[in-house]
Amino acid sequence: MKNILIANSKGGAGKTTLATNLASYLAAAGLPVMLNDLDRQKSSALWLGRRPADLPLIHSYNAHNKAKLKESAWVITDTPAGLRDEKLSDAVKQADCVIVPIQPSAFDIGASSDFLDKLAEEKAIRKNKTFVALVGMRVNSRTHAAAGLADFMQQTGFPVLTYLRNAQVYATAAELGIGLFDMRASLVAPDMEQWAPLLSWVKEATAS
């Protein structure tokens, strides 16, 4: 079983957006996937509840489904804000890789800096048993804030996978219980280009 952890101690960083769209990608590829929502707000679980029945199935993570699905199943874990200490360590140990979404604001960068420092101290990450990478969220490349985010992310020492634009398609997908990979390709062509490096890295990080 492959476990992808979406984490950042900052609330509203874009964790659910990454988790739900990544789950929709795996499901569209015909892979068995479970969405594990640890956040009290249950945004991912609510999204899953809105998902149309005629789309590729995404399972809700629970003991019954875990036993039911094949060992090759994928688990996408959407974590709450403030994840730290023992809970963070346990989640990292169980993960093949960790994706950290960061938005271009001083508040997000400050909180993410502290979180990344904690991640770097995790034994599983130091020994390269769990891999970490960063994704810029809701980024307008023509702004000073975007440039500041890029500078910060490059200095962290973690791979920077991509920058996802601030597009209405994400809000539409969230409202309908679908992902970008369930939508007509012509509507999301720029977004597919931005997602390509992220998906490639996930394949590499979970290959073993």
pLDDT in tens, 68-96: 677 668 999 999 998 877 899 999 999 99
CATH of domain 2-202: 3.40.50.300
Structural tokens at position 92: 């990292």
Q: Give pLDDT, residue 110.
A: 95
28, 56 in Cβ contact below 8 A? yes
Q: Over pLDDT 90: what percentage of the chain?
A: 88
Q: Give pLDDT, residue 151.
A: 97
DSSP letter, residue 156: S
Helix (H) or strand (E) holding 85, with range, is: helix 85-94
Residue 105's pLDDT band, with cuts at 50, 70 and 90, is very high
Average pLDDT, the chain: 94
pLDDT tens per residue across span 129-173: 999 999 999 999 889 999 999 999 999 999 999 999 999 999 999
Q: Give pLDDT, residue 65.
A: 74
Lowest mean pLDDT of 60-64, 66-70, 176-180, name the range.
66-70
For the cut 90, the answer to whether the pLDDT of residue 16 exceeds it is: yes
Q: Please give the average per-residue pLDDT across 120-128, as a whole number.
A: 94
176, 46 in Cβ contact below 8 A? no
Residue 186's pLDDT band, with cuts at 50, 70 and 90, is very high
For the cut 90, the answer to whether the pLDDT of residue 98 exceeds it is: yes
Q: Give pLDDT, residue 51.
A: 97
User: Tokens 């997908």 correspond to what residue?
Assistant: 173
CA 105, 108, 109: angle at the middle one, nearest 5?
85
45, 78 in Cβ contact below 8 A? no
In the chain, domain spans: 2-202
**Closest by CA position to 156, among listed 193, 123, 125:** 125
Q: Give pLDDT, residue 175.
A: 97
Q: Over pLDDT 70: what percentage of the chain?
A: 97
Distance of CA 178 to the CA centre of its chain: 15
169, 191 in Cβ contact below 8 A? yes
Can you give the pTM of this predicted structure?
A: 0.95
- Which position has the higher pLDDT, 169 or 67? 169
pLDDT tens per residue across span 35-62: 999 999 999 999 999 999 999 999 998 7
